[in-house]
Amino acid sequence: MTDATPLLLKANLKQLKLPTMLAEHDKLAREAADRDEPYDAYLLKLTEVEVAARTANAIAARIRAAGFPVAKEFDTFDFTAVPTVPKQKVLELTRRDWVGQRYNACLIGGSGTGKTHAATAVGLALCRQGVRVKFATAAGLVTDLEAAQQQHRLDRLLAALERIDLLIVDELGYLSFSRGGAELLFQVFADRYERGSVLITSNLPFGEWGTIFQGERMTAALLDRLTHRCHIFEMNGESYRFRESMKSKADKATKPKK
């Protein structure tokens, strides 16, 4: 090894855009020399740290791009509060198979029953498995679609949504839309039929979706596509937020005064 070798190695690693190998190669080389490890073992360790770093960075990038409002995991989800929900079936949504098969999922239930929590936990789990996820409230998505239409960039936005493997649409039914907004949302869902998965949370049963899409014909056409290949979960139970609020008040009432 010449005196120039370390400098040339660093230059090559920079040019090849291998930042973790650049940062770790010297330390791993000393460790390999101390243990008298063969060259291929050293090279394997060096490539492993680069692969691990790139994997972690890619996961972080997918999670950022998904736009989750807060991070929610299933280890903090209270399945006992929604006894009608089959825990194992819900957890199966954290495996990417159903997205690869272009299935959909719907979480239907009252406010505060954990629909957004579950949808977020599913999305995070799938981001870690290489799935491209986008999280949006129904109202936020419609607002974006209407703005894009007014600014003559709707085709670009629709094309970007088509590249998403799983589109999570939260809180469908909480706010009403204009006729034009409802038609744009219908277009997004229709375009994804058997081409990309959708996960929808809604406080309204399917029979009341006509109030969202302002007409039985559009609603029927949507539900026909959406439920063709779909995992449907009814999440009915006491509001988690209400229960936690009552628990907090009870704790304060029983706490001894100083």
pLDDT digits 0-9 by tens, 195-252: 999 999 999 999 999 988 888 899 999 999 999 999 999 998 555 554 554 455 445 5
In 10 A of CB 247, how many CB atoms? 10
Identify the pLDDT of residue 240. 53
Whether 253 has a pLDDT exceeding 60, the answer reads no
Average pLDDT, the chain: 88
Q: Stretch 142-152: mean pLDDT, rounded? A: 97
Task: Identify the residue with better confidence: 104 or 241.
Answer: 104
Q: Would you say 224 and 67 are in contact if contact means Cβ atoms under 8 Å apart?
A: no
Higher confidence at residue 120 or residue 23? 120
Please give the share of the chain, as a percent, with pLDDT higher than 90.
Answer: 62
pLDDT on residue 238: 57
Query: Has residue 258 got a pLDDT over 60?
Result: no
- Per-residue pLDDT averaged across 63-70, rounded? 96
The beta-carbon contacts of 202-205 under 8 Å, at least 24 apart in sequence, are 202/106, 202/107, 202/108, 202/115, 202/171, 202/172, 202/173, 203/108, 203/109, 203/110, 203/111, 203/115, 203/171, 203/173, 203/174, 204/108, 204/172, 204/173, 205/108
